[in-house]
Amino acid sequence: MTASLSVSAPASGGLGSPYAGYVYSYPHKTAYRPLSPAPALREVWAGQDTSALFLYLHVPFCEMRCGFCNLFTRTGAPAELVDRYLGALERQARAVREALPDARFAVGAIGGGTPTYLEAAELERLFAVGREVMGADFPAIPVSVETSPATATPDRLAVLAAHGTTRVSIGVQSFDDTEARAAGRPQRRAEVEAALAAIRDTAIPTLNIDLIYGIDGQTRASWLASIDAALAWRPEEIYLYPLYVRPLTGLGRRAVTRADWDADRLALYRAGRDHLRAAGYEQVSMRMFRRCDAPRDADTGYSCQRDGMVGLGCGARSYTSDLHYSFDYAVGIGEIRAIIDEYVTLDQEAFSRARVGYRLDAAEQRRRHLLTSLLQADGLDAADYRARFGTDAAADFAAELAPLADAGLLTVGAGEPDIRLTDDGLSWSDAVGPALFSADTATLMDGYRPR
């Protein structure tokens, strides 16, 4: 993988590798299981606060499958399949709207896959589902859309801007063509620069650029050169992702990692972190950095720790306070295609029930709140936790937090927030998160058969 870089790692609190897994939600979909009997959505959402929800639209198509990618997506989808998919997504939206007639949305996002795989007219159709069926007032709420260098074309971006998109996130990964190929993402820097210019020309308020460290052949110098190339566009946000080699991905089928790869990634992360801080960026999480003078979205009242999410599309998940649900999950190309092929045949009645999911009891709701808070640089607000659950977070998780505190990865004490990761702790976020999974969730995830 990378050329060897020296790094002095902190005591790890018994965590082992700092790269156990990226925790972007809890629990992960590998812990979901078929719900039997499948509950009606009207029952699932009964009694839930639906006044400030997150609306997520999922597009499971890409122009290519990157070597590191384990997202739910397929390549080369023909126009006929895209048409059928959008028809199914509209049927799902109508079923969901019937179950949540009074739902209001405070935040929106379109993810994938690559949403801009859709042609401009297809993107118009997708926004129409969110607006006309779900009732989302897109120009009045923050809306984020993911794109790629090959699909960030002016006509597609014009549709995003016309519907009030406030943030575009583009997966560049590396400005070095050789590194991009090594990561299984063949692209030319000229194409990347053209896409970034097109995004800036639309005047969408927030540009996010994703970069990856730990690529085969990458050095500290080449890593910082990619960051500098990104900084030339003055993006409001930059995400720094460690490279993972996962089962059933392109890299997973051929890559061999080295024993010192963890140390290399830690060193590259710290170099990138320090470089961005010096350039005027504040750290929001292990991955996210925001330009200090960038405009902020207005406070919508939405909180990921508290509020629910409605996901439309066969790779989307939905959250209530006590049930997370979705469709089947897969990484393998054949399995993903089969799930999409089934999704496009479902009628509206079939979309009126939750099919696969995970029920969160009171203990798991506390744990989810801890994880989604702790993995942010701001940490956990003890007063907010106490107001929600009536208990003290430090006491609820004392046995699990103590070794992390002893290792210098987090602080627990008086003041707000009561629990916060240190700088070293943030660098170990991908180990801290999995270490805090419940035994039941870990058992379910371990029992998942990759497919």
| pLDDT tens for each residue of 144-177 | 999 999 999 999 999 999 999 999 999 999 999 9
* Domain harbouring 442, CATH code: 1.10.10.920
Query: Is 451 part of a structural domain of the chain?
Result: no
* Phi, psi of 223, deg, nearest 5: -65, -50
Residues 264 and 408 in one domain: no
Q: Give the tokens for residue 182.
A: 């090594």
Residue 66: per-residue pLDDT: 56
Report which of 326, 344, 342 is spatially closest to residue 334, judged by C-alpha positions.
Answer: 342
Q: What is the average per-residue pLDDT within 333-337?
A: 85
Query: Is 357 part of a structural domain of the chain?
Result: no
- Look up residue 138 and give its amino acid: F
Number of domains in the chain: 2
135: left (phi over 0), alpha (psi -120 to 50) or beta: left
Residues 370 and 282 in one domain: no
Residue 252: per-residue pLDDT: 41
Q: Give the tokens for residue 416.
A: 């707000």
Which of the listed residues 276, 291, 306 is the one where a domain comes to its end?
Answer: 291
Query: Is 18 part of a structural domain of the chain?
Result: no
For 106-146, write each residue's pLDDT tens digit: 999 999 889 999 999 999 999 999 999 999 999 999 999 99
Q: What is the average per-residue pLDDT within 271-295?
A: 97
Which of the listed residues 291, 314, 343 is the one where a domain comes to its end?
Answer: 291
Return mean pLDDT, the chain.
89
Q: Give helix 120-128 / helix 79-99 axis angle, nearest 10°.
A: 10
Residues 192 and 272 in one domain: yes
Query: Is 378 part of a structural domain of the chain?
Result: yes
Residue 3: per-residue pLDDT: 32
In angstroms, how far is CA 157 from the centroid of its own chain? 21
Side-chain half-sphere of 447: how many Cα atoms within 13 Å?
Answer: 9
- Percentage with pLDDT > 70 across the chain: 90
Query: Is 78 part of a structural domain of the chain?
Result: yes
* Domain harbouring 217, CATH code: 3.80.30.20
Q: What is the average per-residue pLDDT within 266-287?
A: 97
Q: Which range has the worst mean pLDDT, 51-65, 224-238, 261-275?
A: 51-65
For 387-403, write each residue's pLDDT tens digit: 999 999 999 999 999 99
Query: Is 12 part of a structural domain of the chain?
Result: no
**Cα dihedral angle (331, 332, 334, 340), rounded to 10 degrees?**
0
> Is the pLDDT at 297 greater than 60, yes or no?
yes
Residues 367 and 283 in one domain: no
The whole-angstrom separation of Cα 388 and Cα 338 is: 41
Residues 375 and 263 in one domain: no
Residues 179 and 285 in one domain: yes
Residues 215 and 135 in one domain: yes
Structural domain including 213 reads 29-291
For 345-365, write each residue's pLDDT tens digit: 999 999 999 999 999 999 999
Residue 154: per-residue pLDDT: 97
Residues 86 and 203 in one domain: yes
Which of the listed residues 291, 318, 347 is the one where a domain comes to its end?
Answer: 291
Q: What is the average per-residue pLDDT within 18-26?
A: 88
